[in-house]
């Protein structure tokens, strides 16, 4: 087995969150539209992180972390969509 020092706490948190999202989707607590909304919110953090980096000269890793989180969320959205199906969110123009 793994020792605690072998796995970063961020990796453990990601596994727990992904498992929770999948479980809630499986039990129909979350809809596909809910997961798409969550994905959009995560992607919006990229713009926030990039704007913050420009204005406050923040560390560039914030933008990289936001991009990595958005990519993970897109992958999870795609997985849940294939596994559990469901209707996409309605787009209002």
pLDDT at 56 over 60: no
In a domain? residue 20: yes
Mean pLDDT of 58-82: 76
* Burial (CB count <10 Å: 0-12, 13-18, 19+), residue 32: middle
The answer as to whether 4 is a domain residue is: no
Where does residue 28 fall: left (phi above 0), alpha (psi -120 to 50 degrees), or beta otherwise? Answer: left
* Within-domain flag for 15: yes
Range of the domain at 66: 9-84
pLDDT given for residue 52 in this prediction: 67
Tokens describing residue 91:
């787009």
Tell me whether residue 91 is in a domain: no
Q: Indicate the average pLDDT of the chain.
A: 75
Q: How far is CA 27 from CA 41, 46, 62, 79, in A?
A: 22, 30, 33, 16
18/48: higher pLDDT? 18
- Is there a domain that residue 3 lies in? no
Instruction: Count up the domains in the chain and report the number.
Output: 1
């Amino acid at each position: 087995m793994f020792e605690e020092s072998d796995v970063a706490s961020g990796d453990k948190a990601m596994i727990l969150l992904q498992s929770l999202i999948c479980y809630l989707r499986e039990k129909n607590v979350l809809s596909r539209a809910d997961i798409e909304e969550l994905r959009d919110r995560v992607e919006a953090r990229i713009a926030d992180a990039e704007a913050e980096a420009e204005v406050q000269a923040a560390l560039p890793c914030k933008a990289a972390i936001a991009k990595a989180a958005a990519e993970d969320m897109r992958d999870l959205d795609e997985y849940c969509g294939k596994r559990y199906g469901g209707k996409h969110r309605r787009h209002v123009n």
